[in-house]
């Protein structure tokens, strides 16, 4: 195999999670589905005798986007957030070690599975906060909608076009130079991968060596491709039966001003649809991944919102 930059990055990200007091575990949420997740060591997983702690921290569930394992999405957040919250960072189903034998493939199903994960982890009596980025924002919305403010106190939806339509997909395909959205989201060659990476960042690297692109392809786009294709095609929010309705929780909508996956003009429409309890923050000089491209600013916004330290 030779030297792998992706494997090196995996090791670095795992170390950052461990340094934040998180452990890797595989949790069976039902007879069909097992979720791989990183969880704070203080959570009572795999230890039924562990009694609830009345002084326990609130829980923050960080839901990743589509494309890579969860540690690639939230590595810049787990350290700062772990000082204030017990953290749960699951891999989406068919990413990392998360698997299911169920035939269901929608973001609604992912939301139901993660809701069961919260039950299995025994945090029903805690204040729960949810943050999701991109596809993870779709999942976060459905969780907040179904669980209600009694269980989910606040929601962060980052870079996530909950009003995504077929017309939006066509425009994205034009920007990516492909004839099919799947070809862009699940690239089969390094040329398309380079195009995707260019769309997800504010300032795309002028040069990416072929060996690095092949390394990314080998590590992130070779497993469970059929199931991931079904996830793309199984989105409920693109069907005529879905209507984006306001959430009852306070919502932070965070977006990069230079997002080329979901252009920032959609952020204002999403915020409007989510209702009076939603606020929008646009992060300058960032693209589709503001939580990684300007993690310091993003983390400050996140903490201010979740901990009620921001001024009106």
Residue 76: partners with Cβ closer than 8 Å, 6 or more residues away:
291, 292, 295, 298, 299
- Rounded Cα distance between 173 and 175, Å, is 5
In percent, the amount of the chain with pLDDT more than 90 equals 80
DSSP letters, 89-100, are: EEPPTTSTT-EE
pLDDT in tens, 283-298: 999 999 999 999 999 9
- Rounded Cα distance between 232 and 255, Å, is 22
pTM to 2 decimal places: 0.93
- Adjacent-strand bridge partners of 128: 59, 152
pLDDT in tens, 240-277: 889 999 999 999 999 999 999 999 999 999 999 999 99
Tell the CATH superfamily of the 5-165+239-306 domain. Answer: Alpha/Beta hydrolase fold, catalytic domain (3.40.50.1820)
- What are the sequence ranges of the domains in the chain? 5-165+239-306, 167-229
């Amino acid at each position: 195999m030779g030297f792998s930059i992706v494997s090196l990055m995996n090791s670095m990200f795992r170390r950052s999670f461990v340094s934040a007091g998180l452990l890797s575990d595989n949790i069976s949420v039902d007879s069909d589905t097992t979720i791989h997740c990183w969880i704070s060591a203080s959570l009572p997983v795999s230890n039924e005798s562990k009694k609830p702690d009345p002084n326990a921290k609130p829980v923050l569930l960080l839901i990743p986007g589509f494309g890579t394992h969860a540690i690639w999405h939230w590595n810049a957040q787990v350290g700062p957030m772990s000082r204030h919250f017990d953290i749960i960072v699951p891999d989406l189903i068919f990413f990392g070690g998360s698997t299911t034998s169920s035939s269901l493939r929608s973001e609604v199903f992912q939301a139901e599975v993660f809701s069961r994960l919260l039950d299995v982890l025994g945090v029903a009596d805690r204040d729960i906060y949810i943050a999701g980025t991109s596809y993870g924002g779709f999942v976060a919305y459905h969780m907040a909608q179904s669980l209600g403010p009694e269980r989910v106190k606040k929601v962060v939806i980052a870079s996530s076009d909950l009003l995504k339509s077929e017309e939006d997909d066509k425009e994205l395909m034009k920007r990516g130079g492909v004839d099919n959205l799947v070809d862009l989201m699940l690239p089969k060659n390094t040329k398309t991968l380079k195009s995707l990476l260019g769309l997800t960042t504010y300032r795309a690297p002028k040069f990416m060596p072929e060996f690095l692109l092949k390394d990314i392809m080998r590590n992130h786009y070779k497993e469970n491709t059929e199931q991931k294709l079904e996830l793309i095609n199984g989105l409920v929010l693109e069907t005529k039966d879905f209507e984006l309705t306001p959430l009852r929780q306070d919502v932070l909508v965070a977006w990069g001003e230079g997002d080329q996956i979901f252009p920032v003009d959609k952020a204002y429409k999403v915020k409007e649809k989510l209702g009076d309890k939603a606020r929008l923050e646009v992060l300058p000089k960032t693209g589709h991944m503001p939580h990684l491209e300007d993690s310091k600013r993003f983390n400050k916004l996140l903490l201010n919102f979740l901990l009620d330290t921001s001024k009106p």
